[in-house]
Amino acid sequence: MENDKEIAKATALDRIVNYEIYISSMNNDQLIAIVNSLEDFEEVVTALTELSIRDMGKATPFCAKILEEHLGDEFLQAVAFNLLYEGDHEQAMKIVNKNVLSAPAALLGAIMDNLSTDSLQPFGKSLSSGFLHSIVDRYSELSDADKILILENYEWFQESYEDKL
């Protein structure tokens, strides 16, 4: 009995340390279970990313849920946005439009990066000046420490949309 407990502890520790290795061998249902658990955000990020690589259509609803319900930490939300934007940027933008004024720094940085990447594309060119200004306004409300963390994202965003800002 005591040996079983030790084995369980060692297995749990191995899972925590090596999740990046074993996640690639899991099936989609197992990945979804990890994403739904929201226990270890780094593990959830890895599982969600793996799921998106295999089947973006299956990952998209989970990304949307994380963003709409503000689940996990800001880094999980940033990854969820990146993946959702890649799979369905229209849906990602609908969610962002509702939440840009309260977006945490990491998520705001991800938003700015994705939009900067598309600034020369028809989608990026179609973004309204008012929406782009709302992103700048949110950045200006961040703490100095948060601003420093995403300063490069902000500078690229400003450069990408200088004609509309």
Q: pLDDT tens for residues 100-117?
A: 999 999 999 999 999 999
The two most distant CA atoms of the chain are separated, in Å, by: 69
Per-residue DSSP letter, 119:
T
What is the predicted pLDDT for the residue at 14?
A: 47
In a structure prediction context, what are the per-residue pLDDT tens digits for the chain, which is 165 residues long?
Answer: 555 555 444 444 445 456 667 888 899 999 999 999 999 999 999 999 999 999 999 999 999 999 999 999 999 999 999 999 999 989 999 999 999 999 999 999 999 999 999 999 999 999 999 999 999 999 999 999 999 999 999 999 999 999 999
Query: Structure tokens of 118?
Result: 């598309």
Structural contact between residues 83 and 107, judged by C-beta atoms closer than 8 angstroms: no
Interatomic CA distance for residues 152 and 42, integer angstroms: 23
Helical H runs in 55-128?
56-68, 74-99, 105-117, 122-126
Degrees, nearest 5: CA angle 91-126-104: 50
Q: In degrees rounded to 5, what are phi and psi of residue 162?
A: -60, -25
Q: What is the pTM of this model?
A: 0.87
